[in-house]
Amino acid sequence: MNAMKCSRLASAHTACPPSYIRILNVYPCYPAVDVFVNGNLIANNLAYKQFAGYFTVAPCTYHIKVISSGNKKECLIAEACIQICPKSAMTIAVVGGCAAVLGIAEEYNPCRRMRNRCKAYVRFVNLSANSPSLDVAITGGVRLFENVPYTAHTRYVPIDPGTYEMQLKPAGSNQQGIATQPIELMQCTAATVYAVGNAVGEPPLEAITSVDGGF
């Protein structure tokens, strides 16, 4: 785990417990990206669909800058200022479409929120820039999430631990949709399923999964 300095854009709350961030690259137009926070390189050659972090941070505002990796001439992809609140966790995603940096809040202590420790908990984030709003259903089973637009995320819902294949489909549709690779959801963990890629074109629409809160 790494630590980063606070930005001059806001005052640090040094008495507060640390917060946590990680970086996710779902920008499909370059093989890899470099990510800078307050001018410091924290993710080098981060490939499409890869995570970097978690990093410990002081609560304040950070300047995030993303450039193409490996180019002699710097090619700016996106930049933004992201505010990190005290006692928080966040995935900072480099997303497609108009190329942007998006902060996706997580549960700071997901285990504390679990009323049933025998269950897994899962939520969904739509990061497919050219997809319509999406529904997510277990193949041959129930619909877990409905009408989730681009960049939106759902609440965590309980589900029996196990390995699932899911279907991503346009909201309200009875189409078969696009099947994901098998996704393993483990007992007493919180996970996020991300839709990435393109509904039309390359790379194709698919889902990736991460366990949240592994600080």
For residue range 134-163, what is the model confidence (pLDDT) as tens digits?
Answer: 999 998 889 999 999 999 999 999 999 999
**pLDDT, block means (10 residues), the chain with 215 residues:** 50 66 92 92 94 91 92 81 92 88 84 73 93 91 93 92 92 84 87 90 89 82
> Which residue, 75, 106, 137, sits at the end of a domain?
106
Give the count of beta carbons closer than 10 Å to the beta carbon of residue 156.
20
Same domain, 11 and 98: yes
| Rounded Cα distance, 159 and 170, in Å | 22
- Show the domain range for 195: 110-212
pLDDT tens readout for residues 51-77:
998 999 999 999 999 999 876 667 899
Residues 58 and 73 in one domain: yes
The answer to whether the beta carbons of residues 196 and 26 sit under 8 Å apart is: yes
One domain for residues 75 and 120: no
| Class of residue 71 by CB neighbours under 10 A (exposed 0-12, middle 13-18, buried 19+) | exposed
What is the reported pLDDT for 197? 92
Q: Which of 72, 106, 140 is the last residue of a domain?
A: 106
Q: Residue 11's pLDDT is what?
A: 43
CATH code for the domain of 174: 2.60.40
Distance (Å, whole) CA 130 – CA 145 = 19
116 and 208 together in one domain: yes
The tally of domains found in the chain comes to: 2
Same domain as 6, residue 102: yes
Domain end, chosen from 73, 106, 139, is at 106
Q: Which of 125, 120, 134, 135 is nearest to 95 (CA)?
A: 125
Q: Say if residue 17 is in the same domain as residue 100.
A: yes
